[in-house]
Amino acid sequence: MQVFRSATLLVLSLASLLSIGNVAPARAVDLPPLRGDRSPLFSADVVISLDPEGKPVLSVSGSLPYDELQWIKIAQGYASGAEFQVVFEPRARGREYGDVWERRVVVAGFSTTTAAQAAVVERRTFDVRAGRYRVRVSVRDLNSEGVSSAREAIDIPDYSRVPVGFADLELGVADSSGSFRPLPTRQFGMNSSRLAVRVALFDRRPGGWPRVYPFHYRILDESGGDVVNRKRDVTLNHSAEAITLRPDSLDLFIGSYVFEVELVEGHSRWRVDRSFEVEESGPPRGREFDRMLEPLAYIAEPWEIDHLRSLEPEQQA
């Protein structure tokens, strides 16, 4: 199968420029993944999730590729390790929150140390009071002593006075059993067919449990158009129960996307979204194929473009 990567598709960048007049609808701003400022380069995703009582907690998922670490030869193979540090600093006076821990790794063969998808993935949850903070994530290679860090401002909402609402979406992949694994980079490749989100809804209104909620979820492309548009009735056994949503079938081309989950009850509407990237995919089909033809029309003969537009989706590869 032919594989397309984001760095190679200049023609689609041209198509984006040509369609700049089609302004996408305004989206809620979400905290982008944190990226290390030097080697060892890492990614960290900060998510506001909920504890069983519906109080906000901060989840930090970090991903450190194996090839960013220094490895040493040992009797069992090759060894490496990293120290992770997460700190939430209040922007006014107040208590700091955080943790420091180490993760050591041993692999049998050298090829594993440079494998493309191999990474140290860590996740920690912090009980942080509502307020405004600066989050700092640092990673230290235990062999090379190299240190990398990233900082970002974050506002943690006070949900105590809000009767109904969503916590942040957490993006990742799910297998056939429904087991969810977060992807801190929010960058997908050929695994985008297994893309899923974990979401929690809190509902403090009186009444019994379980309750059924009509969730509406969409995946939007760079133009704001629907790539996926689904509805699903979700049964929650209690408030703030986390569930996983995974589209039945998904074939995303490279580009930027937003996963959106919405609940509508009468005149009330609650919505949460999260952005992500697809950096590697199969060949363009359907809408992406038509989009690729737009800049080609400036250099190709009209009959050539007409022929390409007439192809069935299975012939467009």
Quote the pLDDT of residue 52.
Answer: 74
> How far apart (Å, rounded) are the C-alpha atoms in residues 164 and 268?
10
Contact 71, 65 (CB under 8 A): no
Question: Same topology for domains 1-30+162-282 and 36-160, yes or no?
Answer: yes
> How far apart (Å, rounded) are the C-alpha atoms in residues 131 and 96?
12
> What is the secondary structure of the chain as a DSSP string?
---EEGGG-HHHHHHHHHTTTSPPPP----PPPEE-SSSSP-EEEEEEEE-TTS-EEEEEEEEEEGGGS--EEETTEEEEEEEEEEEEEESSSS--EEEEEEEEEEESSHHHHT-TT-EEEEEEEE---SEEEEEEEEEEETTT--EEEEEEEEEE--GGG-SEEE---EEEEE-TT--EEE-TT-EESGGGGGEEEEEEEEE-SSS-S-EEEEEEEEEE-TTS-EEEEEEEEEEESSTT-EEEE--SS--PPSEEEEEEEEEEETTEEEEEEEEEEE-EES---THHHHHHHHHHTTTS-HHHHHHHHTS-GGG--
What is the rounded average pLDDT of the residues 206-225?
Answer: 94
Quote the pLDDT of residue 60.
Answer: 95
pLDDT: is 259 or 282 the higher one? 259
> How far apart (Å, rounded) are the C-alpha atoms in residues 82 and 103?
5
Quote the pLDDT of residue 239.
Answer: 93
What is the rounded average pLDDT of the residues 158-186?
Answer: 90
pLDDT > 90? residue 284: no
Least confident of 1-15, 46-60, 153-167, 236-250: 1-15
Task: Note if the bond before 210 is cis, omega within 30 degrees.
Answer: yes
CATH of 36-160, one of 2.40.230, 2.170.150, 2.60.40, 3.40.50: 2.60.40
Taking the model in full, what pTM does it have?
A: 0.76
Confidence bin at 177 (pLDDT 50/70/90): confident
Contacts 24+ apart (CB under 8 A), 302-308: none
Query: Which sign, positive or negative, has the C-alpha torsion 68, 69, 73, 74?
Result: negative
Confidence bin at 176 (pLDDT 50/70/90): confident
- What are the residue ranges spanned by the domains of the chain? 1-30+162-282, 36-160
Confidence bin at 93 (pLDDT 50/70/90): confident
pLDDT > 80? residue 311: no
pLDDT: is 313 or 3 the higher one? 313
| CATH code reported for the domain at 1-30+162-282 | 2.60.40.3880
**What average pLDDT does the structure give for the chain?**
85
Between strands 43-50 and 34-35, the pairing is antiparallel
> How far apart (Å, rounded) are the C-alpha atoms in residues 280 and 191?
9
Confidence bin at 146 (pLDDT 50/70/90): very high
What is the rounded average pLDDT of the residues 179-183?
Answer: 92
Contacts 24+ apart (CB under 8 A), 101-105: 102/142, 104/79, 104/80, 104/142, 105/66, 105/69, 105/79, 105/80, 105/81
Contact 24, 224 (CB under 8 A): yes
Confidence bin at 24 (pLDDT 50/70/90): very low
> How far apart (Å, rounded) are the C-alpha atoms in residues 187 and 257?
10
> How far apart (Å, rounded) are the C-alpha atoms in residues 6 and 186?
15
Quote the pLDDT of residue 145.
Answer: 97
Quote the pLDDT of residue 15.
Answer: 40
